[in-house]
Amino acid sequence: MLAWMAVAWANEALAGEAVDAVLASMTLEQKVSQMMMSSPPLAKEGPVDVGGIIILGYLLKGEETVRSRVADLQARATVPLLVAADVEGGDMNRLGFVEGLEVIPSARELGEGSPEGAKQVGQTVGRGMLSIGLNTNLAPVLDLADKGMMHESGRSMGAEPDQVAAVARAYSDGLWAAGVVPIGKHFPGYGDLEQNSDHHLVVTDRSSDEIARHADAFVQVGDKVAGVMLANVGYSAYGSVPAILSSELVQMAHDYGWLTITDDLAIEALAESVGGDREEVVRRAFLAGNDVLLTTAPIDWDQALDYRGIVLELVKGQPELEAQVDESVRRILQVKARAGLLGD
């Protein structure tokens, strides 16, 4: 038996006990903090009490720089952190400074190859990530496209669910083998849209059947990915709001067993979808049931929204929402346990 498989199965057997113990020890404030993923806090000392950190491109300056920064954050973490980055390869390769990752195939190139080759790439990427402290990859991209922005940028593996899922399963296996958590995106599928939802409110009239066909790539990958990042695309069949604000789509992802992660909540197009109110984006993302609320701003930046405060105000005003918080934190801790982050 491969050593990593033995560890994974042992973690799974112990996960319930470990998760229960950590969850029972938390205050409401600590639970809500676990639901936050942000850029590294600005404070150079004191506890790091968010659940996850995203390392953006401008922070990826060199192996030792990243390694020492992440080690410091983990040492100060209240609970071990999910430390994430978008490592998609191709033009999205943000780890070209890491030995062995100078060139990473794009998703399109992976899709044109074999599952066996994709697994090897996943393991190489995972080893490189873990060598500098990154334990979560916001990849693979599972959007189906043979035209449009995702295809033209090389971010899509292809247009057929079976083919994309086979490659993505293998790539995810490679990441897990190296000790890195894979997060699939962008559920239920960006598709062949031309516009970038980072800059515009994009709504598609895709039918429910077509949405299900796109989502099938995710479904076939199953628990090879620990979670999914939901799209900022709106679907007219699901209320025309960005997917991260659709309780129906978030619940669909939960029904498949995934942790759910928002895209960057600071994106201006999201505020436009709720009348320009940035705080309302956070409220609706939480009320829709998302487990991890992601912001690319440092959580303690004085110009950032008080993401934790917004959620805490909602929960304290509606105590029945604490059950939702517990469910989300349980999913987060289960992923951390699966990744071996909760220790003994």
For residue 14, the model assigns a pLDDT of 58
Distances from the Cα of 221 to the Cαs of 73, 140, 142, 295, in angstroms? 32, 10, 9, 26
Q: Which of 46-50, 60-64, 184-188 has the lowest mean pLDDT?
A: 60-64
| Interstrand relation of 181-187 and 136-137 (parallel, antiparallel or unpaired) | parallel
Give CA–CA dist 212/146, Å, rounded: 17
pLDDT mean over 142-163: 96
**Angle, to 10 degrees, between the axis of helix 307-317 and the axis of helix 322-338?**
130
Place of tokens 């071996």: 340
For residue 4, the model assigns a pLDDT of 41
What percentage of the chain exceeds 70 in pLDDT? 95
pLDDT mean over 161-184: 98
For residue 18, the model assigns a pLDDT of 85
Closest CA to 262 of 296, 223, 304: 296
For residue 212, the model assigns a pLDDT of 97
Three-state DSSP state, 310: helix
What percentage of the chain exceeds 90 in pLDDT? 85
Q: In sequence order, what DSSP letters do the residues of 221-269 get, joined into one string? A: HGGGSSEEEEPS-EEGGGTTSBGGG-HHHHHHHHHTT-EEE-S-TT-HH
Is the pLDDT score of 226 beyond 90?
Answer: yes
Q: Would you state the torsion angle of the CA atoms of residues 250, 255, 259, 264, taken in this order, to the nearest 10 degrees?
A: -10
pLDDT mean over 26-40: 97
pLDDT mean over 269-287: 93
Is the pLDDT score of 10 beyond 80?
Answer: no
State the pLDDT confidence band at 344, using cuts at 50, 70 and 90: low
State the pLDDT confidence band at 13, using cuts at 50, 70 and 90: low
Q: Would you state the torsion angle of the CA atoms of residues 244, 245, 251, 252, taken in this order, to the nearest 10 degrees?
A: -60
pLDDT, tens digit (0-9, with 9 covering 90-100), for 78-130? 999 999 999 999 987 889 999 999 999 999 999 999 999 999 999 999 999 99
Exposure pattern of 288-317 as b/e (b: 16+ CB <10 Å)?
Answer: bbbbbbbbebbbbeeebbebbebbbebbee
Three-state DSSP state, 47: coil
For residue 200, the model assigns a pLDDT of 80
Is the pLDDT score of 182 beyond 70?
Answer: yes
pLDDT mean over 188-199: 87
Q: In sequence order, what DSSP letters do the residues of 178-201 get, joined into one string? A: HT-EEEEEEET--TT-SS-TTTS-
State the pLDDT confidence band at 192, using cuts at 50, 70 and 90: very high
Is the pLDDT score of 135 beyond 70?
Answer: yes
Within a 10 A sphere around the Cβ of 86, how many other Cβ atoms? 18
Give CA–CA dist 172/188, Å, rounded: 18
For residue 3, the model assigns a pLDDT of 47
For residue 11, the model assigns a pLDDT of 46
* Domain layout of the chain by residue ranges: 41-338
Q: What phi, psi does 274 have (nearest 5°)?
A: -120, 30
For residue 75, the model assigns a pLDDT of 97
pLDDT, tens digit (0-9, with 9 covering 90-100), for 108-121? 999 999 999 999 99
Helices (H) and strands (E) in the chain, counts: 13, 10
For residue 2, the model assigns a pLDDT of 41
Specify the CATH superfamily of domain 41-338.
Glycoside hydrolase, family 3, N-terminal domain (3.20.20.300)
Is the pLDDT score of 327 beyond 50?
Answer: yes
| Average pLDDT score over the chain | 93
**SS3 letters for 64-101?**
HHHHHHHHHHHHHECCCCEEEECCCCHHHCCCCCCCCC
Q: Which of 132-146, 261-275, 281-295, 317-331 has the lowest mean pLDDT?
A: 261-275
Give CA–CA dist 102/97, Å, rounded: 6
